[in-house]
Structures are given as C-alpha cells and as structure tokens.
Amino acid sequence: MIDFEIPAETAELAAKIRQFVTDEVVPYEKDPRLTQHGPTEDLRRELVAKARAAGLLTFQAPKEFGGIAPSHLEQAVLFEAAGWSTLGPVALNCAAPDEGNMFLLSKIANPAQVAEFLKPVIDGHQRSVFAMTEPGGAGSDPGQLTTKAVRDASTGDYVINGRKWLITGANGARTWIIMADLEGAGATLFLCHGDAPGIVIERTMDTMDRNYVEGHGVVLFDDLRLPPSALLGEEGEAFRYAQLRLAPARLTHCMRWLGAASRAHDIALDYARTRTAFGKPIGQHQGVGFMLADNEIALQQCRLMIWWACWKLDQGERGRHESSMVKSTVSEQLFQVADRCVQVLGGMGISDETPVAMIFRDIRAFRLYDGPTEVHKYAIARQVLGR
C-alpha cells in the first residue's frame, strides 16, 4: 500500500543523528585537519570518538556487530540525516569506502577474516580500502585489469604486482581488499593489512573532492606476497562480489549527498532571505527564487527515487537497474542543486566561507565515481530495450 510515512522510530533516530551532526560535527568543518586531501586520520578519530560517546557509531552494522541492521529504506532516512555535514558520515562510520567494504566483508569474509579485518573497521579503530581502479582503466570497464596475481607453486602464496590509483583512503588504512587478475582464474579479491611489505603508497592525488579520509592514493603492488588465507571468497569471483557491493553502495552515496545538498539549499535559503540587492531580499527576485524552487523540487525528487530503489532492494530484488537509474539522476540533479546554491551565494559561493563550495566540488566528483552517468545510462538503455 503506497505510503510516504517515515516510521516513528526511524524518524526519531534520524532526528537524533541530525542533532548530533549539527551540534558535534558541523563545527569541525572549519578544522584545518579537513585538508585539501580530505579529513586526516587524526580528525577522523576525534569525530568517531564523539559518535561512539553518543551511541551512534556504525549504526548501520548488522546486529551481531552491535548495529541496528536497518533496512535499505531506513538507511535512506538515516544516511540523509548523517550527510547533513560532509563530515557526518565520517564521524558515524557510515562513509565510503568503509561502509561498502563493511557490507561486502559481512557477506563474504570467513570468521577468521571477520575477526581480523572487519571487526576493527566496524569499531571505528581502523579504516579499509577497496583497491580496484587503475590508471589505464579497470573502473567502469572491468575488462582492463592489469594488476596480476600469480600463485607461487612452492609456497602456495599469491604474489601481486601492479599499480592502482584513486584508491580512497589508502594512506593509513589497515584493511585492504585488493582486486587482481589471478592467473588461470580471473579477477579475484584478496585481503591483507596495509603495512604488508610490497604495498607502496606512492602519493596522494590532488582531487576536486575533499571529504574522503586521507584522500585518494596511488598505490604500487610490488611483489606483494600474500598467504593462501588472504583469498577473499572464491577465486575468479571478484566482479560478482564487486557487483554485490555496488547497488547498495551507489544508493548510500546518493543518500549521504542528498543530505549534503539539502544543507547547501538551507544555507542558500538563509542567504536569499537576508541578503538584499536592488531594494529587496534577493530571494524575491525571480532569478534567485526560481533557483530555490528548482532546488526544492529536485531534492524531493531525489529523495523519492532513492526511497523507491531502496524499497525494491528491501523486497529482495537485486536492484541493479533501479540503482543505475537512481545514481545517474540523483548525482546529476544534486550537482545542479549545489551549482545553484553556489550561484545564489554570489562571490561568497566560490569561497569556503560556507561549506557550499566544498559540497559542490564533492558532488562534481560523485557524478563520476561508482560509474559515470554515461555508463549508467547505457546500462539503463540496454535494460529497457531488452524488456
């Protein structure tokens, strides 16, 4: 039965999260540890401690790990609240890439791997990376994986060589999920610690976005030798696992950025009410007012699209098609929202006097990660043509 009522307990928790973010997290947006390369690990630990104290840390975890195991729909409401500050998900430990990595590991890691690699991430003590993307491709088109793993016949060890980039949070992360092309088996996932000899973090890239802890690294795997126990799931199944992670991860991105874009809209609204030009508040000029109206509509559209896809997932569907529809339209629409907020703020909009410029930059990047809009549209087209 079609209904848009948010369940009371979800609404309450969302309000609590929003209050926490507003009171405890927003002040950190001016902290110098929120650098051009993202929040530092030091800042992250300070934020995580706040969330832990508030009893909100990693709320989305499965119940056996102390979370409330929210449905996808509940996540939609809660992650939007968390996203009100770009640092909110960092504090609450529901930010990318950890959130998606925790999801994946909870599905496919064995008990020993859970204890060693997943548990510390859920507890907020460590961070994780998903090392897939490569300079020459291997992002949207997985057929181009050049990082190679070979089996050492004498020891049974896997030996990995290759270079990855845009590896989010690489610097200082302890739980590494690595995708490599295993000789004879195809794309395979491996699990290891970040201080393993053979993992060389060559540099942190300068990027437009600023809200991934420790930014995005360029990583060299130089004869990285891993024991047989490092195999994550089964050999040759990396893309199936990555897909498993993908649909929900796309949606949680959308939720968080919906929260951030709503915040930008709120800031633009405040400004449009109080700043005057040519004798009246600028919001009363239709040129500005129409931008605010467009934002109001776009935010609601995005929210409904996210909820709808989440409902599909909650019904047990895989949701690949729906999550492609949602990711492509939400990322584009939220970018337009952020762009209009910058424009409403005028000269101030391009400065860091407000978080709007930062949100704009991050959402620009969002249109590219987890598959650029064009790749999603192509997939949607094939799906509807084949119907």
Residues in 210-229 at the binding interface with its own copies, rule: CB under 8 A: 216
**Residue 16 within binding range of its own copies, rule CB under 8 A:** no
Q: Using CB under 8 A, pick the residue from 140, 161, 201, 237 that binds its own copies.
A: 140
The yes or no reply on residue 193 touching its own copies (CB under 8 A) is no
Question: Which amino acid belongs to residue 328?
Answer: S
Sign of CA dihedral 184, 186, 189, 195: positive
- For the bound state, the minimum distance from the C-beta of residue 141 to its own copies, rounded and expressed in Å, comes to 4
φ, ψ for residue 145, nearest 5 deg: -65, 120
* Integer Cα distance of 45 and 52 in angstroms: 10
How buried is residue 340: exposed, middle or buried, by Cβ count under 10 Å (0-12/13-18/19+)? Answer: buried
7 binds its own copies (CB under 8 A): yes
- Least distance CB 49 / its own copies (angstroms): 27
Residue with Cβ nearer its own copies (241 or 307): 307
Q: Is the dihedral of CA 8, 11, 15, 16 positive or negative?
A: positive
Two tokens at 311? 């409902």
CA–CA distance, 317 with 363 (Å, rounded to integer): 28
Cβ-count burial 265-278 (b if 16+ within 10 Å, e if not): bebbbebbeeeeee
Select from 205, 220, 236, 237 the one that contacts its own copies (CB under 8 A). Answer: 205
Minimal distance, residue 122 CB to its own copies, in Å: 27
**Taking CB under 8 A as the rule, does residue 316 contact its own copies?**
no
Q: CB-wise, 4 or 197, nearer to its own copies?
A: 4
Query: Judged by CB under 8 A, does residue 68 bind its own copies?
Result: no
58, 328, 331, 354: which one binds its own copies (CB under 8 A): 328
Q: Does 368 bind its own copies (CB under 8 A)?
A: yes
Candidate list 208, 222, 228, 229; residue touching its own copies; CB under 8 A: 208
351 is a contact residue toward its own copies (CB under 8 A): yes
Find the helix or strand (DSSP H, E) in which 276 lies. Answer: strand 276-277
Assess 163 for contact with its own copies (CB under 8 A).
Answer: no
Minimum separation from the CB atom of position 139 to its own copies (A): 6
Check: CB of residue 104 under 8 Å from CB of residue 77. no
Residues 90-119 interacting with its own copies (rule: CB under 8 A): none
